[in-house]
Amino acid sequence: MILETFPNPNPQRDYHIHMEIPEFTCLCPKTGQPDFATLFVDYIPDEQCVELKSLKLYIVSYRNRGAFHEAVTNQILDDLVSVTHPRFMRLTAKFYVRGGIFTNVVAEHRKRGWEPAPMVDLAQFEAQSNTR
C-alpha cells in the first residue's frame, strides 16, 4: 500500500499534528488470533504531510498480516517517516488486552539536528496576573 503526501502548507512553523486511529487490527503471528489497537500518531511535519485516505488504506492493509506488537509499531513508524521526513514523529500503539496483558508500544523519530522550541506555559502567566 502506498502512503501519499502533500506539501506542508506552513513549513516555516513547527506545529503539532495529532491523529487517532481506533480500528487498527493485525494478527498474532503465533496463534493467528486478531489483535486490536488504537494508534496515536503525533508529528511535527517538515516539507510533507501524510494524506489521510492513503494512511487509512495503509493501516487497513495490516488486517490479515501476522505481526508482533513491537515489530508492527516500528514498521509503521519507519514507513511514515520514509515518506514524510518529519522533524519529529511519535507512534503510540495501545493494544487491547490479550491473555490479561495490555501492551503499549511507543516508537519515536527525531530529525537529526532538530530541537523543539521551548514550551510556553500560559497557565503560569494567568496565575501571576490573578495574584495582582
Q: What is the pLDDT of residue 3?
A: 96
For the question of whether the overall pTM of this predicted structure is more than 0.85, the answer is yes
Q: List pLDDT tens digits, range 13-63.
A: 999 999 999 999 999 999 999 999 999 999 999 999 999 999 999 999 999
In the chain the domains, ranked by start, together with CATH numbers, are: 5-130 (3.30.1130.10)
Q: List pLDDT tens digits, range 59-99.
A: 999 999 999 999 999 999 999 999 999 999 999 999 999 88
**96 CB contacts (<8 Å, ≥6 apart)?**
35, 36, 37, 102
How long, in residues, is the chain? 132
**Is residue 79 flagged as an active site residue?**
no
> Which secondary-structure segment (H or E) carries 44?
strand 34-44
Q: Which of 14, 28, 42, 46 is catalytic?
A: 28
**Is residue 26 flagged as an active site residue?**
no
Q: Which of 14, 26, 35, 78 is catalytic?
A: 35
Q: What is the pLDDT of residue 116?
A: 83
